Copies of this chain bind each other. A is one copy, B any other.
Amino acid sequence: MTTDQRIAELGIELPTAPAPAGNYVACMQVGNLLYISGAICLVNGAMTHTGKIGEIRDIAYGQAAARVCALNLLAVAKGHLGDLDKVSRVVQLNGFVNGVPSFADSPAVINGASDTMVEILGDRGRHTRAAVAVTGLPLDSTVEIQAIFEVA
């Protein structure tokens, strides 16, 4: 089964990759590594998930936000590679959670992205990661995730 077939089987429609809003690029390939800019919860020009976890938002909301970021990362990779079958491994996810002071559950939130990667890419989706809670994120996004993919 191709990655596209798997995505269809899961009933997922990849978003249009968001265009960078500044003097930077959505991704850059260096050798067999694809560096991808931090993805936020922006889909078709509108924010899907905003606000701090632990305040007005709960962990399930954060997991849904992390899933949106994961799909945006895949959309950027697909836009660059043409075909997600060319992703041999997800190397690294850096997960930033918009959390209240002392928020200690960033791993549970970022699992929303990790699980999405494995759901779609299988074992190729397993990655190293970090998960931290930060003070604020672009456009008040609930989650931001930066990534490195390995390209076959």
Contact = CB atoms under 8 A, between A and B. Distances in A.
B101 A37 contact: no
Interface residues of A, number: 60
Contacts of A133: 134-137
Interface in A80-119: 89, 91-94, 96-107, 110-111, 114-115, 117-118
A128 B23 contact: no
B126 A24 contact: yes
A60 interface: no
Interface of A: 21-28, 30-33, 35-38, 52, 89, 91-94, 96-107, 110-111, 114-115, 117-118, 125-140, 144, 146, 148, 150
Contact of A104 (B25, B102, B137): B137
Contacts of A21: 107
28 contacts: A22-B107, A23-B111, A23-B118, A23-B125, A23-B126, A24-B126, A24-B128, A25-B127, A25-B128, A26-B128, A28-B89, A28-B92, A28-B128, A30-B89, A37-B129, A38-B131, A96-B132, A97-B136, A99-B135, A102-B136, A104-B139, A106-B136, A107-B138, A130-B146, A132-B138, A133-B134, A133-B136, A134-B134
